[in-house]
Amino acid sequence: MKRKADLNQIYQNSRDLFIRKGYKAVKMDEICASVGISKPTFYKLKINKRDLLIHAYKAADERLQTDPENLSAQQIHQEIFRVLDLVIEQIFGNGPDMLRDLLRLHFEQSCLDEILTPTWRGTMISLIKAGQKKGLIHNLRNPLTITKVIGAYVTGYSFQFAMQQAEDNRENLHEGVDAILHIGEIYES
């Protein structure tokens, strides 16, 4: 009897295998065997091993969404860091070894933009726009541009963590993003 592919189980099992053995060492046969499906069944899903690694780093989009219109400036600030922290938790949660595998993959085939999903970008843009309107964010550049700079900052921060040159220190990350957004007393003069 053929078994139907359970995509969530494939994602979970492949993540566990990547953490335990490393991305390059895990074979497709192993992933398929871990969930009890054949390779043809797997390939009918139109995903590949690269997609599985990238998926392990994507924060759940529904947790990223927010509506900033009725939030105070303080709440917008908190929401920016809640969304940022969700992404960082997802990136750092797999440990530095697997993150190094992702970075190696990125050098072969660009993939980091896929981690910062359109939902993440859209949420950050709407929070930045609302923060600019309420006078919280003093950086008045285009919110998309600011979001791209924050994405690049998160990527650099992730590189440092993967190379074990930085620890998971949210305070430093938050201060850096505050500087990008120009939030705080230093910018209020």
Flag whether pLDDT at 123 surpasses 80: yes
Residue boundaries of the structural domains of the chain: 7-54, 60-187
Q: Give the residue-averaged pLDDT of 30-58.
A: 93
pLDDT at site 185: 57
Q: Give the residue-averaged pLDDT of 139-151.
A: 96
Which alpha helices (H) appear in the chain, and where do they start and end? 7-21, 28-35, 39-43, 49-55, 61-64, 73-92, 95-108, 112-115, 118-133, 143-162, 170-181
Q: Is 7-54 a domain of CATH 1.10.10.60?
A: yes
Q: Is 53:102 a contact under the CB 8 Å cutoff?
A: yes
Distance (Å, rounded) from C-alpha 130 to C-alpha 143? 10
> pLDDT tens-digit profile of 66-116?
889 899 999 999 999 999 999 888 888 888 899 999 988 888 888 877 888
pLDDT at site 1: 43
